Amino acid sequence: MSTINPSITSAYAQSLASTQSQILAIQTQLNTGKKIISAADQSTITNLSNSATAYSTATTSITNAQSVITSAQKGLSSILGLLNQMQVIANQATNPTLSNADAIFLNNSFQKLATQIGKIATTAGVNGSNLLSGTAGLNVITGIDKTPASRTHIQPVNIYGMITIGALGNIKLETLSDANSAVASIASAISTINNGQIMLQTSAKLLSTKASAINNITTNSQTQLASLQSLDKPALQSQLQVLNNQLAVYKLLSKLG
């Protein structure tokens, strides 16, 4: 007469219950199409999702800043064209044989161009941000840690200041002396525009580089999220087959004692 070992019977029962539980979990996932997320994976998913949200804010900030820079660059191109016209007029006004009527005409044309420059400078903004009017510049969120290093400052090209108190302030062609001064002032203004264009190009490239880096990070995060959340049906079906085989063995062993 055989004697049933209670400890062995208990072990079989535990293995049987554990296997049945695993089979049920896999069948549930296959039936619902939803993966059961472990606590560790859920923590990772939460962190990745929060990071993606933070980087989305930075991406939006960079995109908006690039629009402001583009608007400023277009403004500078237009202003440079007007300055070139003003330079031609100012050179004409340096002619000592110029009649008074011609001098007045040239000065009026000159002032109209200067006014146009002012209008371009004040309307070159996007959503309240303007790199051609004022000295504030533009602070751009380019990171997620909320430190000074996570922000990038874009320097302005203060055209409005240039036409009020700077190189083009009170510029006129009323006298020969005025005309000579205007020629020098316009040359200085053109230099400022050229330097401003280079600066904005550099800033745009910097933001593009940061945007590309953020895009790589978010793409990797999305890939990792998809991997954590996606259901690998072939792997689960293979695992289910193994578990079903184990279940059959445990059922047999439990009957044998």
- Check whether residue 30 and residue 124 sit in a common domain: no
Number of helices (H), then strands (E), in the chain: 6, 2
Average pLDDT for residues 202-231, to the nearest whole number?
Answer: 90
- Determine the pLDDT at residue 79: 97
CA distances from 171 to 6, 89, 196, 248 (A): 106, 13, 21, 97
- Check whether residue 82 and residue 156 sit in a common domain: yes
- Check whether residue 205 and residue 255 sit in a common domain: no
| 53 belongs to a structural domain | no
- For the whole model, what pTM was predicted? 0.77
Q: What is the DSSP letter of 144?
A: S
| 52 belongs to a structural domain | no
- Check whether residue 69 and residue 87 sit in a common domain: yes
CA distances from 94 to 3, 87, 102, 103, 104 (A): 123, 11, 12, 9, 13
| Tens digits of residue pLDDT in 89-114 | 999 999 999 999 999 999 999 999 99
- Check whether residue 250 and residue 142 sit in a common domain: no
| 51 belongs to a structural domain | no
Average pLDDT for residues 80-95, to the nearest whole number?
Answer: 97
| 45 belongs to a structural domain | no
| 54 belongs to a structural domain | no
Based on the number of CB atoms within 10 Å of its own CB, is 65 exposed (0-12), middle (13-18) or buried (19 or more)? Answer: buried
- Check whether residue 215 and residue 175 sit in a common domain: yes
Using the predicted structure, report yes or no on whether residue 21 has a pLDDT greater than 90. Answer: no
How many domains, in total, are found in the chain?
A: 2
Which has more confidence, 38 or 200?
Answer: 200
Of 70, 85, 108, nearest in space to 189 by CA: 85
- Determine the pLDDT at residue 114: 93
End-to-end CA distance of the chain: 13
- CATH number of the domain at 193, please: 1.20.1330.10
- Determine the pLDDT at residue 16: 79
Which has more confidence, 153 or 51?
Answer: 153
- Determine the pLDDT at residue 235: 81
| CA atoms lying within 13 Å on the CB side of residue 151 | 10
* CA 130/CA 133 separation, integer angstroms: 6
- Determine the pLDDT at residue 108: 96
| Tens digits of residue pLDDT in 129-185 | 999 998 999 999 999 888 998 999 999 999 989 988 888 888 999 999 999 999 999
- Determine the pLDDT at residue 130: 96
- Check whether residue 19 and residue 84 sit in a common domain: no
| 195 belongs to a structural domain | yes
Domain of 106, in residue numbers: 62-230
Q: Largest alpha-carbon pair distance within the chain? A: 137
| Tens digits of residue pLDDT in 221-241 | 888 888 887 877 888 788 888
Average pLDDT for residues 186-205, to the nearest whole number?
Answer: 96
Using the predicted structure, report yes or no on whether residue 5 has a pLDDT greater than 70. Answer: no
Question: Across all residues in the chain, what is the average pLDDT?
Answer: 88
- Determine the pLDDT at residue 1: 42
